[in-house]
Amino acid sequence: MLDLREALCAVQACRDVASIPVIASLSFQTTNSGGRTVMGNSAQEVATALADAGVNAVGSNCGDLDPLETAAVISLMKKSVDLPILAQPNAGKPKLVENRTVFDMTPEQFANGTAECLHAGANLVGGCCGTSPEHIRCLAHLIEKMRINPNKASSRLPEVRG
């Protein structure tokens, strides 16, 4: 979602009709001033308000950020709440090319960047705009390497190479 107020309404609507886990994720436009949504809400404000509304997890998806910038937002959220954190970055920053929006990160670049979201505190990761099954496969491969060799994962995830 783009607007914290709308997200809070959606969370309340979910709570009103069902007793299921709710994950709320907003799109961020910048990492400046504490990470900001297009409506100006900070990452801390988003995470805290959604936690207070009773979500089971909070996160960041889409927006104008690449995976490394998403990691900065995730870090701020992690400092603000004691909930699972979701990161679903785009495959790079959106660019308009010949009247078409494109995302130019390779699957390997995406996986390595998204690994930084894990380092920043994300518990759940995936992909948003511009990602393909190959992007997700590369990310899954990297996470599997981390699971098999947890000692290496404690410092830095191994890089994925094509």
pTM above 0.75, yes or no: yes
Average pLDDT for 55-62: 97
Tens-digit pLDDT profile for residues 44-57:
999 999 999 999 99
pLDDT, the chain, mean: 91
Domain annotation for the chain: domains and CATH numbers:
4-153 (3.20.20.330)
Q: Which pLDDT score, from 0 to 100, does residue 156 have?
A: 47
**Strands across the sheet with 85-88, in order?**
23-26, 57-61, 85-88, 124-125
